[in-house]
Structure 1
Amino acid sequence: MMMFFAIVIGVVLLQRVFELYLAARNAKYIRSRGGYEIGAGHYKYIVGLHFLFFICLVLEVSIDASPFVLPSWWMYPFCFFLIAQLLRYWCIRSLGKHWNTRILIVPGIEPVIRGPYRFLRHPNYLVVAIELCCLPLTFSAYVTAILFTFLNAWLLLHIRIPLEEKSVYAANKQQ
């Protein structure tokens, strides 16, 4: 199990590095089109939450008394995690050069309503919620799953989504 765990964590971390590169490249493009950032003050909390998630996940799995045995039902949360990755890349593809980890506004650009955005306003946040719950459950890291699912939900529901809704949709009403 530890080899599988190390491979999964390694792949997810490489994925995050790629996404940060993509977000930086897209931010440069958006800013070149007159875009500006909203909510930069809370971004450090999102980054911190995700950083601590990986630390806690690795610690909880490493400290577990039986780290070499996956639970018999491990494939269920792991399949949900994998499906979330497909949804993540559908989100990224649908937003194209406007996908980002920050809230970046381009005046006059309407919110995207293609891809998964036809069905949900914030499908990427659903992806993150599934990841923060299912990845730890795959490896029996129950404390990490519960703690970070709730912390993420609080951050999204009380700070990130209201700010994004207000900013994105208000900016477009002014046009």
Structure 2
Amino acid sequence: MSAAAIILALVTLQRLGELILSRRNTKRLLARGAIEVGARHYPFIVAVHVAWLIALWMLGRNQRVDWLLLAAFVMLQGLRLWILSSLGSRWTTRIIVLPGEPLIASGPYRYVAHPNYAVVAGELALLPLALHLPYAALLFSVMNGIALLVRIRIEARALATFSRPFARAVS
């Protein structure tokens, strides 16, 4: 098995683990009275991420690896863990809001409004570039950008509508 295939296997397992965590957190949040907002755009986001993985497996599994770009991708995984730990049980892949709850303002959320989206944008570009697939990096970056234009607007509106005004949680 090539180094690229091992990397892709690890990334695929990571994404599957995140989906399991997201599903568990979503169920718990909904049981607590949370509301899902903007579900209509969610299939497009899933399609972009699934297509990204499929394209990388099809085109990149036997490619040489640019270890410097891969190191940058791995550094993003550290930021991803910081985001997941900051949001805790409120992290999902969907837009789920708990009415009346304060926004999370700890961890990277102290510095950036949407750190997870920045990490994902970096990942969708860096891993294809690490596998010498610049056109895949460009294509999936554009598709992700389109998805984020919609998603960030929906999420901002939902948080402004349902979150406790002027209160921010600090853990």
1:59 and 2:88 matched: no
- In the alignment, which of 81, 86, 90 is matched to residue 89 of structure 1? 81
Q: Which ranges of structure 1 fall in alignment gaps of 5 or more residues? A: none
SS of corresponding position for 2:36: strand
Which segments of structure 1 move beyond 4 Å, counting only runs of 4 or more? none
- In the alignment, which of 150, 168, 172 is matched to residue 142 of structure 2? 150
TM-score by length of 2: 0.91
**Contact 2:63 / 2:131 at 8 angstroms: preserved in 1?**
no
Q: Which residue of 2 aligns with 1:128?
A: 120
The CA deviation string for residues 96-143 of structure 1, in whole angstroms up to 9 with x for no partner, is: 000000000111111100000001111011110111000001110111
1:40 and 2:32 matched: no
Q: Which residue of 1 aligns with 2:156?
A: 165
How much identity, in percent, do the aligned residues show? 39
Q: Which ranges of structure 2 fall in alignment gaps of 5 or more residues? A: 167-171
TM-score by length of 1: 0.89
- In structure 2, give the amino acid aligned to 1:160: R
2: distance between equivalents of 1:148 and 1:22?
24
Q: Which residue of 2 aligns with 1:7?
A: 6
Please report the RMSD computed on the Cα atoms of aligned residues, expressed in angstroms: 1.6
SS of corresponding position for 2:40: helix
Residues 140/68 of structure 1: CA separation in 2 closer, same or farther (3 Å cut): closer
**Contact 1:84 / 1:131 at 8 angstroms: preserved in 2?**
yes
Say how many residue pairs are matched. Answer: 166
1:25 and 2:24 matched: yes
**Contact 2:99 / 2:164 at 8 angstroms: preserved in 1?**
no
**Contact 1:60 / 1:144 at 8 angstroms: preserved in 2?**
no
Q: Which residue of 1 aligns with 2:130?
A: 138
2: distance between equivalents of 1:164 and 1:110?
14
1: distance between equivalents of 2:14 and 2:63?
25
2: distance between equivalents of 1:34 and 1:68?
47
